[in-house]
């Protein structure tokens, strides 16, 4: 934590202590008669009553019988969800609770979620400008469209979905898909949106509030997600609707097996658990669930096995899970040194050992995104560097939008084995070109010593 963080925290704490009489005075004087924010379709009290009843039962049983609580939890949410939208409110509440509080749409034909924490700026004659705030903080920049300067201070870039593809905002304008007036409208919304997520002190104009996530049809969402998937060169497998996987839980995408998306979920802490399903004994060192998503419906694995997962698929899921467990054990318990013998493990999620300058990052990202039509994406990427020598950079590029397949991946190069925990690749960048590790070594771009020097960052 920096000095600035500490200072900020103190001042903000003071602001949170504003006397209640002033808050009450303002709260009582607010003119909210015409304030509208879509009311809940179900009575909030109805939801609450169900929640209270469930919470009371679980708390009572939990206090008395921890093991029973697990069973009750499993029972409460373990029912196979064949049609989540036709369930009773109590069942929905139980499921939502199991998902950590994230909500299901109640009207599937009208409501959709954009994956990847994106939102939209509205609809303009079939064109849908999209923003994303899930990207890295390195994405500063701006672009000028129709005379309006869009500042991307929080890596929130705007792209446009139109007719099955994602295109940059300026392209949408150049092609006449968006008019000057529409660009101005989007700019105004962006100004207001950006105000709240600016990484620096907040100045500037405050205009109309951005529209909330508009309701899209499910098929509309699927189209948009498919277009995003087509853009990303390293995309590996199905997209996860991250808006449904929320609230402090850990998720891993174990892969798509037999057309079904397999997700591993854990609260991060808990007791070691095992669960026998079919012929297999699934285990983990902390509480976990394996969840099967099939056609937008979610099942716990044991229930899915009873109905939609075959024995062969179950075996594959078991193997994937075992691989992940192995990685988990290696990562947490066994490996203390940067590498163990000839085995290197690269942990992409931790801070990279080499800090690159902004110019270096910009050069690498610009080289990675060669297509002018995708140049706007450069704001969304960041670079992690694991080795830097002789003009060669061992890098992994993050866009923040994608979940990679969670399965161990071995890459053998120059007598070393790199063990990656997921599908994200490491590249060697040199003189404007990207190579895989193996390509770089075989083509003499880097030496064996260079390969040996790539640092596993777990201990950093």
Q: Can you give the binding site for another protein, defined by CB under 8 A?
A: 3, 7-8, 10-32, 35, 37-40, 44-45, 47-49, 51-52, 101-103, 117, 119, 133-134, 137, 192, 195-199, 201-203, 206-210, 212-213, 242-243, 246-248
Q: How far is the CB of 69 from another protein (least distance, A)?
A: 19
Q: How far is the CB of 163 from another protein (least distance, A)?
A: 27
Q: Given the complex with another protein, which of 201 and 358 has the nearer CB atom?
A: 201
Task: Give the span between the Cα atoms of 64 and 58, in whole angstroms.
Answer: 10
Q: How far is the CB of 116 from another protein (least distance, A)?
A: 9
Q: How far is the CB of 185 from another protein (least distance, A)?
A: 15
Q: How far is the CB of 243 from another protein (least distance, A)?
A: 8
Tokens of 223: 């189209």
Dihedral sign of CA atoms 108, 248, 396, 344 in order: negative
Cβ atoms of 404 and 423 within 8 Å: the answer is: yes
Q: Given the complex with another protein, which of 106 and 143 has the nearer CB atom?
A: 106
Q: Given the complex with another protein, which of 17 and 67 has the nearer CB atom?
A: 17
Q: Given the complex with another protein, which of 30 and 64 has the nearer CB atom?
A: 30
Q: How far is the CB of 293 from another protein (least distance, A)?
A: 19
Q: Helices 66-77 and 44-64: crossing angle, nearest 10°?
A: 150
288 - beta bridge partners?
266
Q: Given the complex with another protein, which of 152 and 305 has the nearer CB atom?
A: 152
Taking 3-state DSSP, the helix, strand and coil percentages for the chain, each rounded to the nearest 5, stand at 35, 25, 40
Task: Give the span between the Cα atoms of 365 and 384, in whole angstroms.
Answer: 11
Residue ranges of alpha helices (H) inside 169-300 are: 169-174, 180-197, 218-231
Q: How far is the CB of 138 from another protein (least distance, A)?
A: 12
Q: What SS3 state is found at 404?
A: coil
Q: How far is the CB of 39 from another protein (least distance, A)?
A: 8
Q: 């024995």: which residue's tokens?
A: 311
277 - beta bridge partners?
280
Q: Map 30-62 to HEC letters.
A: CCCCCCCCCCCCCCHHHHHHHHHHHHHHHHHHH
Q: Given the complex with another protein, which of 164 and 204 has the nearer CB atom?
A: 204
Measured CA to CA in angstroms, residue 129 lies from 186, 200, 371, 393, 400 at distances of: 8, 25, 20, 35, 19
Q: Given the complex with another protein, which of 51 and 58 has the nearer CB atom?
A: 51
Task: Give the span between the Cα atoms of 258 and 368, in whole angstroms.
Answer: 33
Q: Given the complex with another protein, which of 71 and 206 has the nearer CB atom?
A: 206
């Amino acid at each position: 934590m920096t000095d600035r963080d500490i200072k900020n925290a103190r001042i903000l704490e003071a602001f949170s202590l504003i006397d209640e009489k002033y808050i009450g005075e303002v709260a009582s004087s607010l003119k909210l008669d015409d304030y509208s924010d879509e009311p809940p379709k179900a009575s909030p009290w109805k939801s609450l009553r169900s929640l209270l009843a469930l919470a009371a039962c679980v708390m009572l049983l939990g206090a008395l019988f921890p093991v029973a609580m697990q069973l009750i939890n499993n029972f409460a949410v373990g029912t196979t969800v064949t049609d989540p939208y036709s369930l009773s409110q109590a069942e929905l509440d139980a499921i939502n609770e199991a998902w950590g509080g994230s909500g299901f749409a109640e009207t599937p034909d009208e409501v959709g979620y954009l994956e990847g924490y994106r939102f939209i700026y509205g609809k303009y004659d079939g064109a849908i400008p999209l923003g994303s705030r899930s990207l890295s903080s390195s994405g500063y920049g701006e672009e000028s469209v129709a005379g309006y300067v869009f500042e991307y201070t929080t890596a929130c870039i705007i792209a446009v979905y139109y007719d099955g593809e994602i295109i940059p905002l300026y392209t949408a304008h150049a092609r006449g898909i968006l008019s000057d007036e529409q660009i101005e409208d989007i700019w105004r919304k962006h100004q207001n949106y950006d105000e709240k997520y600016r990484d620096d002190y907040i100045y500037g104009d405050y205009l109309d509030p951005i529209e909330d996530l508009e309701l899209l049809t499910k098929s509309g969402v699927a189209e948009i997600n498919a277009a995003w998937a087509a853009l990303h060169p390293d995309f590996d497998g199905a997209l996860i609707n991250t808006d449904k996987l929320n609230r402090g839980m850990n998720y891993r995408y174990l892969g798509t097996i037999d057309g079904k998306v397999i997700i591993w979920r854990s609260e991060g802490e808990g007791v070691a658990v095992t669960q026998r399903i079919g012929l297999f004994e699934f285990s983990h060192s902390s509480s976990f669930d394996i969840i099967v998503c099939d056609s937008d419906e979610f099942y716990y694995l044991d229930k899915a096995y009873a109905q939609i997962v075959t024995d062969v698929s179950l075996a594959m899921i078991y193997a994937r899970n075992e691989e992940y467990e192995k990685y988990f054990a290696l990562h947490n318990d066994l490996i203390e040194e940067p590498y163990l013998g000839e085995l290197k493990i690269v942990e992409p999620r931790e801070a990279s050992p080499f800090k690159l300058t902004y110019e270096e990052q910009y050069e690498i990202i610009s080289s990675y995104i060669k297509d002018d039509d995708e140049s706007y994406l450069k704001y969304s990427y960041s670079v992690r560097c694991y080795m830097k020598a002789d003009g060669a950079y061992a890098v992994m590029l993050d866009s923040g939008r994608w979940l990679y397949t969670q399965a161990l991946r071995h890459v053998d190069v120059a007598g070393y084995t790199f063990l990656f925990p997921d599908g994200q690749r490491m590249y060697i960048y040199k003189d404007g070109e990207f190579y895989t590790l193996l390509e770089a070594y075989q083509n003499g771009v880097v030496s064996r010593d260079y390969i040996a020097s790539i640092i596993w960052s777990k201990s950093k």
